[in-house]
A and B are shown apart, each in its own frame.
Chain A
Amino acid sequence: MVDLSIMLAGFSDAFTVNNILFVLFGVLVGQLVGAIPGIGPIMAMAIAIPFTFGLNPLAAIGFLVGVNKGGLVGGAVPAILMNTPGTPDAAATALDGFPLAQQGKPLKATKMALFSSITGDTISDIVLITVSAPLAILALKMGPIEVFALMIFTFSILAGLLDKSLAKGVIAVLLGLLFATVGTSPEDYTPRLIFNHYEFYDGLPLPSVAIGMLAVAEIVRRLARPDGKLRAAISHINSNNPDDARVSWAEYWGCRFTMLRGAAIGTFLGALPGVGSTAAAFMSYASAKHASKDPDSFGKGNLHGIAAAESANSAVMGANLIPLLTLGIPGSVGAALIISAFMIHGIQPGPLLFEEQGQLIYGLFGSMIIANFCNLWLGQLGLRLWVKVVSAPESIIFVSAILLCIVGIYMSTGGLVGVYVMLFFAALGYLMTSFGYSVILFIIAFFLEPRLETSLSQSLVLLNGDVYKVVYHPVAMVLLLLAAVTLFWFVRKSIQATPTTDLA
């Protein structure tokens, strides 16, 4: 168990002026980029990671957490004002937010989104802080065989949940695994698939892969739109009634059960690797509508609709860190990027993190709480400003983002080779997204492969090459059985689904 003094030291690290300023700056950047449709917190995090290289780990990770949390709030602004979610998570928010804005209440809608987002996020953070340390202790009792079985189980969940087509999901995972094998083999340490390029001896750089597939590929996808038009600015009306520009306590309190339900759904789904915040937001929205006495008002500007979607999508963020901090398994792209940041700073995520870097982890928890306060404060101040930001032209935003990606990767990999790798993966990411292969699955598989192969190798040594001896490891057996059941369930679901054949 982590010592109380380490917890307190971690929290006191978080509450230093330097760290608070980095978190505040992260939230500011996150809200700003979240408000711009097409950029979003994931791309902003991906671009920002190499720039945090020179910072101390807590400031760097606090900044990135700030970007992620700020982005969730900022993403609601274009969803409400333009019916164009800044992030996919905010799509459900647009269902009631946009009609409310059209009724002359854009500020009421954005403020409700802000308050419910922070409520859901805080509840999820509290769950993370309380359950992650005990779970990490449990995870530490697992040997290589159990870890390998857990990896198999994780992959079985990921493949089914993230793709409509199971085959495409598996192919995305396989491609991630394949590219991760470039470098050296974990058992013999001999070069593998490097094609005589010894700069790849340590494997393909994770920042190049992640930024190429998530940021550059997305920018290229947006720039390659067939219309080729620059986005238009927003136009909306503001009511003259001051009550339409604020959320009263009665209105907030009236949504408490909706927000609690949303936070519970978001936290539960967020703790499962691979279930995105978009799914949580829509599930919460549907359950709020189902529980409502007036379900017909949903979709016409009901505050409960905004509260349900925002509390759930924000709750996913904290819960996503549960598998990351306890098992080293990223639950989402945001979590995978936080892993990249950990690795850039020489920290290996996983169950040993609490033992080896307990102070840093509790510092991270403190930073998350600070980020929530910053989000509330900056959100109150900045919402009017973000409304203006929504209308910034894409030309300056995307070109600047491309330059930052190139410079960031150049700095983190120490040369242009990393930039060429980034461009290769941007092309691959573009193709995968265009043809329906999940980039998220690819990146998570790419990250997990070294651990999967190492644990397989260690398991084979422990079992002396006799795989049947796995029956003497009950936890591993249960996990493998669960993996088999999950895979069977998804395969059956995939077979039952009617495919639409269209290869034009």
Chain B
Amino acid sequence: MFVALGLLLYFFIIPEQTDPASSMSFLAPATVPKFVASVLALMGAHLLWKPSSINKTAWKNLPRAALILAIILSGVMLMSWWGFIMAAPALALMLVWQMGERRPLWVGLTVILMPILVWLLVVFVLDRVLP
């Protein structure tokens, strides 16, 4: 994977996303990224040649981790539409439910009290705005 990433960066992404060097400069804008990309490809090749151990549970946990990140991402998107005070309890509820918490007291504290406390802290104590 790193071989492909390194080559993609070196030949396509970096030339596309950097300006050519000015006549006065010793270090072109693309020099360091290209150096990094080439060593990345080399290290990727090294890993292909001599692979190191991989924790098997890493693959197993990946879908669950992706789900949690998707929940957080959707919560942040909701914040941009509804604002923090409406979206934070929804996000908190989705997360505690996903964690398996069903005790009404802890669910209530997490879903209602915590967002209100954070909102009070930011808006009244720190005098800052929230989405």
How far, in Å, is B19 (CB) from chain A's closest CB?
4
Task: Chain A residues near B88: list those with CB within 8 A.
Answer: 403
Asked whether, in the complex, the Cβ of B69 is within 8 Å of the Cβ of A436, the reply is no
Contact status of A402 and B130, CB under 8 A, knowing A185-B18, A188-B22: no
Asked whether, in the complex, the Cβ of B27 is within 8 Å of the Cβ of A460, the reply is yes
Interface status of B72 (Cβ within 8 A of chain A): yes
Asked whether, in the complex, the Cβ of A502 is within 8 Å of the Cβ of B76, the reply is no
Interface status of A396 (Cβ within 8 A of chain B): yes
Q: What separation, in Å, do the CA atoms of A419 and B79 have in the docked complex?
A: 11
Asked whether, in the complex, the Cβ of A170 is within 8 Å of the Cβ of B26, the reply is no
Asked whether, in the complex, the Cβ of A399 is within 8 Å of the Cβ of B26, the reply is no
> 12 interchain pairs (CB within 8 A)?
A51-B126, A167-B47, A190-B19, A220-B68, A221-B61, A223-B95, A224-B68, A395-B96, A398-B99, A404-B118, A434-B55, A434-B65
Asked whether, in the complex, the Cβ of B32 is within 8 Å of the Cβ of A174, the reply is no
Contact status of A423 and B76, CB under 8 A, knowing A396-B110, A403-B88: yes
Complex: chain A residue closest to B64, CB-CB? A224
Contact status of A403 and B29, CB under 8 A, knowing A174-B36, A224-B61: no
Interface status of A201 (Cβ within 8 A of chain B): no
State which residues 399-447 of A face B: CB under 8 Å.
Answer: 399-400, 402-404, 406-407, 410-411, 416, 419-420, 423, 426-427, 430, 434-436
Asked whether, in the complex, the Cβ of A460 is within 8 Å of the Cβ of B65, the reply is no
Interface status of A347 (Cβ within 8 A of chain B): no
How far, in Å, is B55 (CB) from chain A's closest CB?
7
Asked whether, in the complex, the Cβ of B26 is within 8 Å of the Cβ of A195, the reply is no
Q: What separation, in Å, do the CA atoms of A241 and B130 have in the docked complex?
A: 53
Interface status of A177 (Cβ within 8 A of chain B): yes
Asked whether, in the complex, the Cβ of A435 is within 8 Å of the Cβ of B58, the reply is yes
Asked whether, in the complex, the Cβ of A396 is within 8 Å of the Cβ of B68, the reply is no
Complex: chain A residue closest to B89, CB-CB? A403
State which residues 111-162 of A face B: CB under 8 Å.
Answer: none
Count, chain A residues at interface, CB 8 A: 70
Interface status of A5 (Cβ within 8 A of chain B): no
B interface footprint on A50-89 (CB within 8 Å = 1, 0 otherwise): 0100100000000000000000000000000000000000
Contact residue among B29, B72, B73 (Cβ-Cβ distance under 8 Å from A190): B29
> Which A-B residue pairs are the 6 nearest by beta carbons?
A185-B29, A460-B26, A434-B58, A395-B101, A224-B65, A190-B19
Task: Chain B residues near A192: list those with CB within 8 A.
Answer: 17-19, 29-30, 33
Count, chain B residues at interface, CB 8 A: 72
Contact status of A399 and B126, CB under 8 A, knowing A188-B21, A192-B18: no
Asked whether, in the complex, the Cβ of B76 is within 8 Å of the Cβ of A178, the reply is no
Q: What separation, in Å, do the CA atoms of A166 and B49 have in the docked complex?
A: 14
Interface status of A504 (Cβ within 8 A of chain B): yes
How far, in Å, is A230 (CB) from chain B's closest CB?
6
Q: What separation, in Å, do the CA atoms of A178 and B127 have in the docked complex?
A: 37
Asked whether, in the complex, the Cβ of B33 is within 8 Å of the Cβ of A434, the reply is no
Contact residue among A230, A407, A499 (Cβ-Cβ distance under 8 Å from B53): A499
Task: Chain A residues near B61: list those with CB within 8 A.
Answer: 221, 224-226, 434
State which residues 14-47 of B face A: CB under 8 Å.
Answer: 14, 17-19, 21-22, 25-30, 32-33, 36-37, 39-40, 43-44, 46-47
State which residues 368-393 of A face B: CB under 8 Å.
Answer: 393
B interface footprint on A28-64 (CB within 8 Å = 1, 0 otherwise): 0000000000000000000000010010000000000
Task: Chain B residues near A174: list those with CB within 8 A.
Answer: 36, 39-40, 43
Contact status of A188 and B65, CB under 8 A, knowing A395-B96, A411-B122, A420-B76: no
Task: Chain A residues near B79: list those with CB within 8 A.
Answer: 406, 416
Task: Chain A residues near B114: list those with CB within 8 A.
Answer: 396, 399-400, 403
Task: Chain B residues near A229: list those with CB within 8 A.
Answer: 100
Complex: chain A residue closest to B40, CB-CB? A174
Asked whether, in the complex, the Cβ of B39 is within 8 Å of the Cβ of A461, the reply is no
Contact status of A178 and B72, CB under 8 A, knowing A499-B52, A503-B54: no
Asked whether, in the complex, the Cβ of A410 is within 8 Å of the Cβ of B131, the reply is yes
B interface footprint on A162-194 (CB within 8 Å = 1, 0 otherwise): 001101101100110110010001111011111
Interface status of A500 (Cβ within 8 A of chain B): yes
Complex: chain B residue closest to A445, CB-CB? B36
Interface status of A465 (Cβ within 8 A of chain B): yes
Task: Chain A residues near B131: list those with CB within 8 A.
Answer: 410, 416
Interface status of A310 (Cβ within 8 A of chain B): no
Interface status of A501 (Cβ within 8 A of chain B): yes
How far, in Å, is A173 (CB) from chain B's closest CB?
9
How far, in Å, is B131 (CB) from chain A's closest CB?
6
Complex: chain A residue closest to B30, CB-CB? A192
Q: What separation, in Å, do the CA atoms of A188 and B29 have in the docked complex?
A: 7
Q: What separation, in Å, do the CA atoms of A144 and B52 have in the docked complex?
A: 37
